Structure 1
Amino acid sequence: MKKRYIPFFLLLSALYSCNNKPTDHFVLRGTIPGATDSTEIVLSPAGKYSQKIAQGFIVNGKFELQGKVDQPTYCRLSMNDQEYLDRSDSQQHSRYMEIDFFVENGELTFQTPHIDSLPESFWRYDVRKEKNYTLTGSPTQEIFYRYQQQTIPSRHGIRQLEQHLLKDATPEEYKTLTKTKSELEAQTKEFIRQHHNLPVNLYLVNQLKKEPFTYDQAYLDELAGFFASCQDTCSALKDFRQYLQEARAYVQGKPLEDGKVITPDKQETSLLSRLKKGGYTVIDFWASWCGPCRASFPHLREMYKIHGEKVTFISISVDKDEKEWHKALEEEKLPWEQYLATPEFSKATRADYNLTSIPTFLIINPEGNIIFSGHNSNELETILEAKNR
């Protein structure tokens, strides 16, 4: 019997094809037991969900997605079976799951014990379920996974407190929230110091951004220092350094810019002339059409009763319709100073105070400098109590 020999170069070729992993694209294979067949699955850059990197469907509890990223990219994997259930007229409860992780080119494998063990989307998201899935094949994700696991207790505590504060809040609970956030901030900074992975650290440092006038220059310098030895090799690093430059305009201690405001009897006056001499001033930016603004007034009334003798309270409406402002004043009957921003002042507040939403509260110190900006009246009360001890 004649023996057949396989040429050596064919053996090498076969061996190479079996072990060669893609470097110019990724192949993401996943196993999700319990998932409904034809569940749509979409991979998008986190925060840019209209941009789909890859999409497909789950069949027999498995899926495969292929795509390409230029660098390790923080993505969201979304699963939604609502469309299929609607088409099939099923009475089954729909599932909408969201999982965030880093994707990079190569062979990636996603695994979870069961679809119900994954975090659901939006307000149902449970941080603790992040331990119920793994993504292998991405060195960047392996590092980020360590951070996720280390910070689950802090992040879960913050989410629970924030959800409760939306319904019913007390200053003490807000103090607990502030303390827990500080603990997470310290954990995040330490993780960045110990791990030198640029994509992960850039994602984490963006979580350390704060509201205007709640940080000082030393804080910005600390964040910049994490990347002092890095070149501008990616757009994310350039964007973060641009943020640091812009954030310098809103550090604690910036002098309050003057502006013209209108009194209820239609007299124009200077904002700086209304500040409390030698004391603190609270400025509340609001509008008649803003529900959350008007919902904060009962709490502001309580603070005014407690701190009104030592602290000047000023509300400035950004209403464009003066009649609506007067109507709201008549309805609310607020006992502290009320003003309407002139069109020029309203326009200037965006650049001067980074005023992008209302309500916004500012605290001005006796020297006329901004030391706080925020949107939560409980946070405002916490700061006032600390300043008036």
Structure 2
Amino acid sequence: MKNFKLPLILLIFYSVFSCSKKDKQTIIRGCIPNLPDGILYLYKDDSSQRIDSVKTVNGSFGIIHHWKSTSIPTYLGIDHIDQKGILRSFNFPTNANYKKGKWESQFFMSDSLILINGTIKDFNLKDIKLPEKYRLVTSPGIKAGRQTNALFNIDGDLFENVNSKTIQIIKEKIIQYPDSYHLLYKINENKNSFSAEQVEDFLKSFKGDIVGSNIYKNLDTYNNKRFNENKISLPLLENNNGSRKEIINKKFNKHLIIFWASWCAPCRQEIPVLKKLYSLYHNDVEFVSISIDTNKPSWFKALKEEDMKWKQLVINNLSEKEALQIRFKLNQAIPYNVLVDNKLKILSSFTGLSTENELEKLIQK
């Protein structure tokens, strides 16, 4: 933990002469007069992944966080614990929308200089009571660089419902922000929601150093395989007895493939509904659960607890996972349920926690 009280010019001077020229860094400096004394935490990707901290005195703070020379822009956030133990979670106003309302982002990007000045405001969520020592606060406006500017000008729900309109907007946003890692990350997360041709078109619009990044190259390599996806064979997967088995049994005409994990709460919540539907449809539709668990003991423990009567398989390596991603259009979100025929044609699919009615409609396609 560091305690900076330096003016911005000295903070920048210190940062320039105190590290290797190969280092990358993010300087975060702010003055929030109504922020109590305490400790400000910097986190990466998730509030549980704290990477730096600094004392706040009279609302002032400054952090210089160094990155490896190979690092690429990432999502950052801040929270604060005052001397009374009250945690304040920061959200930042943007120029974008979410579900047709103004969107406040939990994150900013790891630009080289971040300035946060002004007063914070508490806000309460309707019908949700927060813990006594937890506060959600709206931060004053934030001044940052190109990566944060792109993030704050792209609607938070742009990738949630992919259609011809959103595809056109995504193309326009890439042209407007051709070096945006946020856009590249979101396309990568949702790559199987687009056709191979659409992803190829997106990638061609990026410009600058981003096209030399590993995430860009890996996505390009993956997408090129999708043009010949019918030539990609399904791997044999390990079952709960340690044997390797075919994913689908062709004595059935339809197969419900359920992607889940032991640690996924919505996946576990969905299992009672799946059990009920299995009892109704197991003669006509093959049920197959495929776990993405990397911890085998946790998978076995969940299998024992849930006692699912249908085929249980687990992914063991990246090669297996990639083949399933391509053939079943699996993105990163689970639970993901997909109904296919014997030729692996996708008949219907649903991402997220499904109701009984939604799953039954999916099965009946």
**TM-score normalized by structure 2?**
0.59
Provide the C-alpha distance between the structure 1 equivalents of 2:107 and 2:200, rounded to a whole number of angstroms: 29
Matched, 1:218 2:197: yes
Residue 281 (structure 1) shift: 1.1
Q: Name the structure 2 match of 1:203.
A: 182
Q: Name the structure 2 match of 1:85.
A: 84
1:31-70 to 2 correspondences below 5 Å:
31-37=31-37, 39-43=38-42, 46=45, 49-52=49-52, 55-66=53-64
SS in 2 for 1:41: strand
- In percent, how many aligned pairs have the same letter? 14
Count of residue pairs the alignment pairs up: 309
Q: Name the structure 1 match of 2:287.
A: 313
Residue 339 (structure 1) shift: 3.6
Residue 244 (structure 1) shift: 3.3
- Summarize the Cα distance change of 1:271–1:146 in structure 2 as closer, same or farther, 3 Å threshold: closer
Q: Name the structure 1 match of 2:217.
A: 241
Q: Is the 8 A contact 2:334 2:351 kept in 1?
A: yes
* 1:138-162 deviation per Cα after TM superposition (whole angstroms, max 9, x unaligned): 3554454333xxx26x48xx9xxxx
Residue 333 (structure 1) shift: 7.2
Matched, 1:271 2:277: no
Provide the C-alpha distance between the structure 1 equivalents of 2:263 and 2:177, rounded to a whole number of angstroms: 48
Q: Name the structure 2 match of 1:365.
A: 341
After TM superposition, the structure 1 stretch with the greater mean CA deviation from structure 2, 24-33 or 247-256, is 247-256
Residue 190 (structure 1) shift: 4.8
Residue 206 (structure 1) shift: 1.0
Q: Is the 8 A contact 2:258 2:336 kept in 1?
A: yes
Provide the C-alpha distance between the structure 2 equivalents of 1:27 and 1:64, rounded to a whole number of angstroms: 7
- Summarize the Cα distance change of 1:368–1:183 in structure 2 as closer, same or farther, 3 Å threshold: closer
SS in 1 for 2:116: strand
Provide the C-alpha distance between the structure 1 equivalents of 2:144 and 2:240, rounded to a whole number of angstroms: 64
Q: Is the 8 A contact 1:275 1:368 kept in 2?
A: no
The residue type paired with residue 56 of structure 2 is I
Matched, 1:112 2:112: no
Query: Structure 1: where are the runs of 5+ without partners?
Result: 1-17, 87-92, 159-177
The residue type paired with residue 176 of structure 2 is H
Superposition CA RMSD, Å: 5.4
Q: Name the structure 2 match of 1:6.
A: none
SS in 1 for 2:256: strand
Higher strand share: 2
Residue 340 (structure 1) shift: 5.3
* 1:84-127 deviation per Cα after TM superposition (whole angstroms, max 9, x unaligned): 335xxxxxx44343652245446x531233253699xxx97xxx
Provide the C-alpha distance between the structure 1 equivalents of 2:39 and 2:108, rounded to a whole number of angstroms: 18
- Summarize the Cα distance change of 1:251–1:360 in structure 2 as closer, same or farther, 3 Å threshold: farther
Query: Structure 2: where are the runs of 5+ without partners?
Result: 1-8, 17-24, 92-105, 131-135
1:1-389 to 2 correspondences below 5 Å:
24=16, 28-37=28-37, 39-43=38-42, 46=45, 49-52=49-52, 55-66=53-64, 73-81=73-81, 84-85=83-84, 93-97=86-90, 99-105=106-112, 108-116=114-122, 132-136=139-143, 138=145, 140-147=147-154, 151=155, 154=157, 179=161, 185-186=166-167, 189-198=170-179, 201-210=180-189, 214-227=193-206, 230=207, 233-234=209-210, 237-246=213-222, 254=230, 257=234, 259=236, 271=246, 274-276=249-251, 279-284=253-258, 295-304=269-278, 311-315=285-289, 328=304, 332=307, 334=309, 338-339=310-311, 341=313, 349-350=320-321, 352-353=323-324, 361-369=337-345, 376=352, 378=354, 382=358, 385=361, 388-389=364-365
- Summarize the Cα distance change of 1:73–1:353 in structure 2 as closer, same or farther, 3 Å threshold: closer
SS in 2 for 1:64: strand
Residue 217 (structure 1) shift: 1.5
Residue 189 (structure 1) shift: 0.6
- Summarize the Cα distance change of 1:205–1:290 in structure 2 as closer, same or farther, 3 Å threshold: closer
Residue 294 (structure 1) shift: 5.3
Q: Is the 8 A contact 1:112 1:118 kept in 2?
A: no
Q: Is the 8 A contact 1:32 1:115 kept in 2?
A: no
SS in 2 for 1:240: helix
SS in 1 for 2:274: helix
* 1:316-361 deviation per Cα after TM superposition (whole angstroms, max 9, x unaligned): 689979xx79x959x8574xxx3455x9x85674454259998664
* 1:63-83 deviation per Cα after TM superposition (whole angstroms, max 9, x unaligned): 23345677994452423225x
The residue type paired with residue 208 of structure 1 is I
Structure of higher CA gyration radius: 1
Provide the C-alpha distance between the structure 2 equivalents of 1:184 and 1:380, rounded to a whole number of angstroms: 30
Provide the C-alpha distance between the structure 1 equivalents of 2:60 and 2:124, rounded to a whole number of angstroms: 15
Q: Is the 8 A contact 1:212 1:250 kept in 2?
A: no
- Summarize the Cα distance change of 1:263–1:205 in structure 2 as closer, same or farther, 3 Å threshold: closer
Provide the C-alpha distance between the structure 1 equivalents of 2:256 and 2:323, rounded to a whole number of angstroms: 16
Provide the C-alpha distance between the structure 2 equivalents of 1:269 and 1:30, rounded to a whole number of angstroms: 56
SS in 1 for 2:34: coil
SS in 2 for 1:110: strand
